[in-house]
């Protein structure tokens, strides 16, 4: 049975990923989170570790399990990272480096390459101006990589680090000539889950708006109505992670892939929310720093490489995301 590590297990992606992995029942799951693992997730895992991913003693503890596959989800998101850049660097960069080194040691010792799935982000982009952002449209993986935020800088560096540790650092292969580490990264758009809300991100206005409306609460959106970045329904995010993990190494022509689904403005999200919850009260109170971050992210991503190399295709466009996933599920979450 495959042994899979999920860090940041209590987080939004962690929650959905664990549910999907546990349902398939084909692996032993080791979960790590800073907080005690959520009660609903406990039955899904074999081992629940609590602690800091950037603590070397915790990495030693994980290493005992000889994990074969790692979903390294633990991170501070973009707004949290702006508030505490030193902590962001510690967790987002040093935490990742510790796990990459651990993965290499396990790969070398067991003779099986460890697959390392890394959630990167549209925050790696730094569009030079709003005019250029609007003119650029869908950007490829290789353009506009001048992030303005600590989080974006951490993530673009870790993308590079993962490639370096897989392809160029030290002993690259085991005795059979196989690589000991197989790093693969996805650049996620803002993710929207029907069952959880994010903490500390800057794309949070979309999920916050939807979850507020479902609870009958007024919402003041912290970006302008015209603010536009890519978004994705959480089930597609999880599908992308699993599909990239399962793709044969020989099909992958790059280590970092964009994935896209839909790219609405805040106002377009608000009108979809109003359709579903006609009484919803949505106003706009742009926060200058958070607005500047959103303006620096791309308006859309070009995901042709993911489509070509491993068959990426989202199940949910905006209509389906709202009509078949978000609205039906969210209403159940807050029903009394």
Is residue 118 within 8 A of residue 72, CB to CB? The reply is: yes
Judge whether 325 counts as a catalytic residue: no
Which x/- pattern over 53-92 shows residues binding ligand SER (rule: CB under 6 A)?
------------------------xx--------------
Backbone phi and psi for residue 223, each to the nearest 5 degrees, phi listed first: -130, 165
The 3-class SS string of 163-218 reads HHHHHCCCCCECCCCCECEEEEEEEECEEECCCCCCCCCCCCHHHHHHHHHHCCCC
- In whole angstroms, how close is the CB of 91 to ligand SER at the nearest point? 13
Residue of the chain from 54, 96, 121, 296 that contacts ligand SER (CB under 6 A): 121
Binding segment (CB under 6 A) for ligand SER, from list 98-106, 201-209, 213-221, 324-332:
201-209
Size, binding site for ligand SER by CB under 6 A: 10
Shortest Å, Cβ 48 to ligand SER: 25
- Do 193 and 16 touch, CB atoms closer than 8 A? yes
Q: Does 10 bind ligand SER (CB under 6 A)?
A: no
CA-based end-to-end distance of the chain: 40
Find the catalytic residue in 151, 219, 316, 325. Answer: 151
List the one residue from 148, 166, 196, 203 that touches ligand SER (CB under 6 A).
203
Query: If residue 32 lies in a helix (H) or strand (E), which one and from where to where?
Result: strand 27-33
Out of 14, 201, 237, 260, point to the residue binding ligand SER (CB under 6 A): 201
The answer to whether residues 153 and 87 touch, using CB atoms and an 8 Å cutoff, is: no
Q: Which residues bind ligand SER (CB under 6 A)?
A: 77-78, 121, 123, 151, 188, 190, 201-203
Active site residues: 151
């Amino acid at each position: 049975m495959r042994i899979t590590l999920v860090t940041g297990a209590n987080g939004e992606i962690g929650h959905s990923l664990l549910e999907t992995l546990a349902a398939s029942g084909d692996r032993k799951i080791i979960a790590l989170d800073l907080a005690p693992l959520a009660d609903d997730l406990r039955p899904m895992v074999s081992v629940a570790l609590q602690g800091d991913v950037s603590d070397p003693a915790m990495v030693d503890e994980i290493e005992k399990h000889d994990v074969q596959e790692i979903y390294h989800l633990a991170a501070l998101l973009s707004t949290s990272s702006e508030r505490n850049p030193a902590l962001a660097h510690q967790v987002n960069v040093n935490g990742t480096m510790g796990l990459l080194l651990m993965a290499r040691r396990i790969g070398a010792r067991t003779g099986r390459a460890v697959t390392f799935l890394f959630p990167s982000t549209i925050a790696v982009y730094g569009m030079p101006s709003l005019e250029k952002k609007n003119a650029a449209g869908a950007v490829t993986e290789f353009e506009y990589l001048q992030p303005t935020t600590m989080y974006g800088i951490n993530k673009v560096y870790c993308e590079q680090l993962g490639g370096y540790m897989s392809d160029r650092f030290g002993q690259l292969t085991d005795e059979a000539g196989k690589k000991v580490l197989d790093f693969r990264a996805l650049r996620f758009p803002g993710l929207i889950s029907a069952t959880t809300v994010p903490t500390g991100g800057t794309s949070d206005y979309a999920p916050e708006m939807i979850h507020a409306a479902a609870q009958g609460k007024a919402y003041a959106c912290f970006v302008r109505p015209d603010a536009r970045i890519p978004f994705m329904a959480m089930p597609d995010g999880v599908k992308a992670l699993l599909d990239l993990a399962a793709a044969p190494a020989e099909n992958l022509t790059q280590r970092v892939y964009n994935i896209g689904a839909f790219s609405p403005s805040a106002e377009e999200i608000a009108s979809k929310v109003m359709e579903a919850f006609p009484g919803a009260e949505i106003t706009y109170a742009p926060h200058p720093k958070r607005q500047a971050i959103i303006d620096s992210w791309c308006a859309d991503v070009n995901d042709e490489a993911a489509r070509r190399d491993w068959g990426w295709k989202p199940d949910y466009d905006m209509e389906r995301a709202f009509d078949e996933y978000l609205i039906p599920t969210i209403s159940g979450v807050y029903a009394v």
